Amino acid sequence: MQPTRETFGNIPHSSQVIFYCLTMVTMAVFAYGIWRRFKLWRQGTPIGIQELIVGNLRQIWWKIRPGVGRLLTEGLGQKRVRGRGLASWAHGLLFAGFMILFLGTTLLEIDHLASGISEALHFHRGNYYIVYEFTLDVFGLLFLIGCCLFLWRRTTRPYSVGHKTTDWFVLGFFIAIGITGYLVEGLRIAWQQPTGIAAQCSPVGLLIAQGLSGMSNAAARSAHLGIWWVHAMLVFGFIAAIPYTRLFHTLAGPFNLFLAPPVLGTLQPISMEEVEKTERIGVSQIAHFNQRQLLSLDACMECGRCEDACPAHATGKPLSPKQVVQDLKRVMTAAFAPGGTKPDSTAPNLRDIIQAETLWSCTACNACVEVCPVRVDPLTLITDLRRNRVGEGELSGTAATALRRIQSSANPWGLPAAERSNWSEGLGAPTCKENPGFEVLYWIGCAGSYDRRAQRVARAVVKLLKHAGVNFAILGREEKCTGESARRLGDEFLFQELAQANIATLARYNVRKILAHCPHCLNSLLKDYPQFGGQYEVIHHTQYLSQLLRIGRLKIPTSDGADDAGAVTYHDPCYLARVNGIHEAPREVLSATLGATSKPAGLREMQSNREKTFCCGAGGGRMWMEEDPNQRVSTVRAKEALATGAKTVAVGCPFCLTMITDGLATQGSSARVLDVAEILAERLKL
Amino acid sequence: MANILVIAEHDRGQLKLATLSAVGFARQVVADAGGTFEILVIGENIGGVAGQLCHCGAATVLTAAHALLQHPVGDKYARIVADATKERGATMVVGAASTFSKDILPHAAALLDAGMLSDVVEVRGDGDDFIFKRVMYAGNVIATVKLEGPVKFLTVRAAAFAHPPKVAESSPIVSLPVTADKLPQFTEYGGQEAKVAGRPDSTEARVVVSGGRGIKNAEDFERLVGGLADALGAAVGSSRALVDAGITPNSLQVGQTGKIVAPDLYIAIGISGAIQHLAGMKDTKVIVAINKDPDAPIFEVADYGLVGDVYQVVPELTEKLKT
């Protein structure tokens, strides 16, 4: 006889009927729970989700392909869940166990229905049965191990991990479901008495059955029925509870993964028509967020990774990305709940929920966006709120002054636009007018143009380009601020004004390829400008220099007994490394430069590097705001840099240059802060 | 022909020097277009201030003295200015561009339904009328404008008009009657927070001495920066680094997130010249930098630079200035 077991074996017909009735009730409670949240999301501004299913199958596939890809790699593959030690392991085990048990139960039901039609369709037997039983037994153990790890973590949880009393019930339910599942199996083996492989393919069940060997067959049968019911009721309870507990992330998370576009470094533009129609800029009420943003609030299950990654939070500022998401979720739930206030009439103004200090503390470093396992985007939520506050004239102080200056003089320091190209006097850097046949445009940015310190970086780049014989040009006085800071601060229309002016200038000179030493300019030209018709190939100067070194147009002289300047560490700028994935090029330039000295001191890495870099504190318009000396992001980063023992901190961004210099000075350090280009130019004695 | 009324500004018995720029403006207009000008001093016990203005070439120095006018309270002062304008038949009312004038002149202009211009840097005649140049958008735009109406109110930038030379003959002092119950009672004087006594405000001073990270503690700041400032009669300022370190109070900070100063002479001691600091002093006429680091960016903006240890150089400089 081939190994198998009867589905609903030992379960009387009456119990089966009740079981299916309860299944229907459970599914109804489950569906209602989802519907309840779905209604909340629908209150947001439409995202045109129906667009996804317009067209022929091929077109639909191309539209949903990226989302499906994310579901497979980041959902099933758990790609973004990894990297948090024990918690990631616990989640991986629990998730794997759960998915296999869920799949197994589904297959069992299919087999049951199939066998009901014809015995010939019954497939739950033979070798299939053996593999099935063994797999489920093993994954059941993984599931339980995952639960226990989570239980341990919940008792010793870090501050950033959210907690509700229901979390204990959820874990308790899971463990009880696992244990009763094994008991049912053990009791089934105890009364069914399978032999050989049919018993051995369920090792855990067999072990339990051996422990129950003294039990009479009748006792085993009645205990089996009893425990089976307990197991079934627990499963019903768990399924019904999903939309009402933290477990809802198992649905909202994948939905969000499917719908969330990769957003690092991009922001949705606002049009004047839109503002005229809605009579508002940005978001002041919960219903002003779009439907996907509202859904993302439910996807958050408070794992706290964003809070741990947030530089503002790490320096004691009143901002936690997780808290912003959770606060908004609370408003969404309350504002749209039955009997609750309706949007637009008496809905609470988010001004009263998310404090101004919280919004303006954000450095827009994207660490929270990058780290979220289900692609919740706290930064866009914050920027949308900022847009409204700026539109309402609620930004005051030095940042508002910077915006005014950007508007009047096209640079945030309010220095005369006529002096924009003074830095290049005597350098022989041709303007587009002087060299219309240029191959690459060197974009200087406001810091490179006006900041005496950053001007040296621009000069070093020009010297290197000339040394390598690159056919380049600069815009000179025709260049204006890219508006990056203005956009991240929430002044969308100031940004658009500048973007349109710059795009017109770049079009006049037929610019295709842009070289920039400022990652903020780079990101804006690369990701903001295409939204307004400016398409360019934009590369960072470290990438360009690394290419020039590789093809031999820049050559580092062999050891000439140059002084060993000591160890060097490199600080990754957020908008270069994290947002645009550029982190190897600067290291290549540095290694090439250092490797050729007589005593290669080597490049030392800080603890937070590459995509996981820690902000310098200047992004998101924070460069223009006063920061409490005890809460400076730059100080934290400077300490991390000093901990490497480096004598030189290399940077690739003029804002980082300012902030890290300042941070090191407050530490009383004499370490030098230099741009990668300056280090290379120094080595080449330019 | 112009009949100008200059509003004098004073504090604790001392005439504010910016008033002399407004007088300089009036003298220029009168010299070009003909007419006379008068100076109005408002306050309590203002005989001393009025006396200081007697040799400016004014037709009359008017005083409006009353106990209620002890402090510069906008609604009361504006009423006095408006009444004086009407009574003296002034066609132009001028004050120095300052917080004082910003408070009072628009208020007075509104009472008379007259036009008002702020931050005037140049004036020339245009037939019977005048054409003014005024600064807009943080100095990036100079607007050329005319002002409608029989009476014109304006404030002038102190740096744009030179202090007039003294004249021999003394102007008569005429006291204007002040009726207490005619003065509005909307605003009441609450109090005044006095700054570090003795030194001028850095935003007004013609010379500012400023210290940066090169200075190690508060005593040294007072000795080096304060000492040099006192020798020059200058105001003191500081970079953010010293404020952070608790060496100087917030009120001294010059820069992007501090005060914006535009003196004739700015002496930067131990300041490296970060853009945030430079943004606060970019309109300075002459910059002198003292720093031991020859590579400090401050030397790139300085008109005169001295590479040396501030602890050694500054006391020497102060000593020489004193003798």
Kindly report the nearest CA distance between residue B275 and chain A, in angstroms.
Answer: 5
Q: In total, how many domains does chain B have?
A: 2
Does one domain contain both B274 and B138? no
User: Would you state the pLDDT for residue A563?
Assistant: 58
Cβ atoms of A181 and A231 closer than 8 Å: yes
Cβ atoms of B131 and B123 closer than 8 Å: yes
Measured over the CA atoms of residue A283, residue A288, residue A290 and residue A296, the dihedral's sign is positive
Per-residue pLDDT tens over the stretch A249-293? 999 999 999 999 887 999 999 999 999 999 999 999 999 999 999
Q: Which of A452, A625, A666 sits opposite B300 (nearest CB)?
A: A452
Does one domain contain both B239 and B297? yes
Per-residue pLDDT tens over the stretch A94-152? 999 999 999 999 999 999 999 989 989 999 999 999 999 999 999 999 999 999 999 99
pTM here is: 0.81
Q: Which is more confidently placed, A356 or B257?
A: A356
- For residue A182, the number of C-alpha atoms closer than 13 Å in the C-beta half-sphere is 24
DSSP string, A399-461: HHHHHHHHHHHSSTT---GGGTTGGGTTTT--BTTT-TT-SEEEE-HHHHHH-HHHHHHHHHH
Judge whether B280 is closer than 8 Å to chain A, CB to CB. Answer: no
Q: Which of B273, B279, B298 sits opposite A413 (nearest CB)?
A: B279
User: Would you state the pLDDT for residue A564?
Assistant: 61
Q: Which of B140, B141, B244 sits opposite A666 (nearest CB)?
A: B244
What is the span of the domain harbouring residue B44?
A: 2-182
Q: Which is more confidently placed, A454 or A53?
A: A454
Question: Is residue A476 pLDDT above 70, yes or no?
Answer: yes
Distance CA B296, CA A218 (A): 93
Does one domain contain both B139 and B270? no
Distance CA A202, CA A600 (A): 61
Task: Among B133, B148, B182, give the residue marking a domain's end.
Answer: B182
Does one domain contain both B157 and B70? yes
* Section B22-28 average pLDDT: 94
Q: Taking CA atoms, what residue in A is nearest to B242?
A: A666
Q: What is the ipTM of this complex?
A: 0.75
Question: Is residue A488 pLDDT above 90, yes or no?
Answer: yes
Per-residue pLDDT tens over the stretch A296-346? 999 999 999 999 999 999 999 999 999 999 999 999 998 766 655 454 556
* Section B78-86 average pLDDT: 95
The total number of residues shown for chain B amounts to 323
* Section B184-212 average pLDDT: 83
Does one domain contain both B176 and B211? no
The answer as to whether B202 is a domain residue is no
Q: Taking CA atoms, what residue in B is nearest to A397?
A: B257
**Residues with Cβ within 8 Å of residue A141, at least 6 apart in sequence:** A97, A204
Asked if B276's CB is within 8 angstroms of A658's CB, the reply is yes
Asked if A666's CB is within 8 angstroms of B279's CB, the reply is no
User: Would you state the pLDDT for residue A131?
Assistant: 95
The answer as to whether B187 is a domain residue is no
Measured over the CA atoms of residue A331, residue A332, residue A334 and residue A336, the dihedral's sign is positive
Q: A456: which chain B residues are within 8 Å (Cβ-Cβ)?
A: 297
The angle formed by the CA atoms of residues B216, B222 and B227, to the nearest 5 degrees, is: 120
Question: Is residue B188 pLDDT above 90, yes or no?
Answer: no
Does one domain contain both B158 and B96? yes
- For residue B85, the number of C-alpha atoms closer than 13 Å in the C-beta half-sphere is 25
Asked if A450's CB is within 8 angstroms of B275's CB, the reply is yes
Question: Is residue A435 pLDDT above 90, yes or no?
Answer: yes
Q: Taking CA atoms, what residue in B is nearest to A400?
A: B257
Per-residue pLDDT tens over the stretch B155-170? 998 878 888 888 888 9
**Per-chain mean pLDDT for chain A:** 93
Q: Which is more confidently placed, B310 or B126?
A: B310
Does one domain contain both B293 and B212? yes
Does one domain contain both B221 and B99? no
Q: B256: which chain A residues are within 8 Å (Cβ-Cβ)?
A: 398, 401-402, 413, 624
The answer as to whether B284 is a domain residue is yes
Does one domain contain both B27 and B169? yes
Kindly report the nearest CA distance between residue B285 and chain A, in angstroms.
Answer: 15
Question: Is residue A454 pLDDT above 50, yes or no?
Answer: yes
The answer as to whether B11 is a domain residue is yes
Asked if B298's CB is within 8 angstroms of A409's CB, the reply is no
Question: Is residue A502 pLDDT above 60, yes or no?
Answer: yes
The answer as to whether B190 is a domain residue is no
Asked if A398's CB is within 8 angstroms of B279's CB, the reply is no
Residue B239 gets the label, from left (phi > 0), alpha (psi -120 to 50) or beta, of beta
pLDDT band at A561 (very low <50, low <70, confident <90, very high): low
User: Would you state the pLDDT for residue A230?
Assistant: 97
Q: Taking CA atoms, what residue in A is nearest to B246?
A: A629
Task: Among B140, B166, B182, give the residue marking a domain's end.
Answer: B182
Asked if A626's CB is within 8 angstroms of B241's CB, the reply is no
The answer as to whether B191 is a domain residue is no
Residue B37 sits in a domain of what CATH number?
A: 3.40.50.620
Q: Which of A398, A451, A452 sits opposite B257 (nearest CB)?
A: A398
Does one domain contain both B146 and B259? no
Question: Is residue A598 pLDDT above 50, yes or no?
Answer: no
pLDDT band at B198 (very low <50, low <70, confident <90, very high): confident
The answer as to whether B198 is a domain residue is no
Per-residue pLDDT tens over the stretch B244-279? 888 999 889 999 888 889 899 999 999 999 998 998
Question: Is residue A171 pLDDT above 60, yes or no?
Answer: yes
**Residues with Cβ within 8 Å of residue A445, at least 6 apart in sequence:** A454, A481, A482, A516, A517, A518, A520, A521, A654
Does one domain contain both B143 and B16? yes
Interface residues of chain A, partner chain B, Cβ below 8 Å: 398, 401-402, 404-405, 408-409, 413-417, 447, 450-456, 624-626, 629, 658, 661-662, 665-666
Question: Is residue B13 pLDDT above 90, yes or no?
Answer: no
Give the count of Cβ contacts less than 8 A between chain A and B. 63
Question: Is residue B197 pLDDT above 60, yes or no?
Answer: no
Q: Taking CA atoms, what residue in B is nearest to A654?
A: B275
Does one domain contain both B119 and B215? no
Per-residue pLDDT tens over the stretch B122-141? 999 888 899 999 987 766 67
Task: Among B167, B182, B197, give the residue marking a domain's end.
Answer: B182
* Section A202-208 average pLDDT: 94
User: Would you state the pLDDT for residue A566?
Assistant: 81
Cβ atoms of A578 and A371 closer than 8 Å: no
pLDDT band at B195 (very low <50, low <70, confident <90, very high): low
The answer as to whether B132 is a domain residue is yes
User: Would you state the pLDDT for residue A347?
Assistant: 78
Percent of chain A scored above 70 by pLDDT? 96
**Per-chain mean pLDDT for chain B:** 91
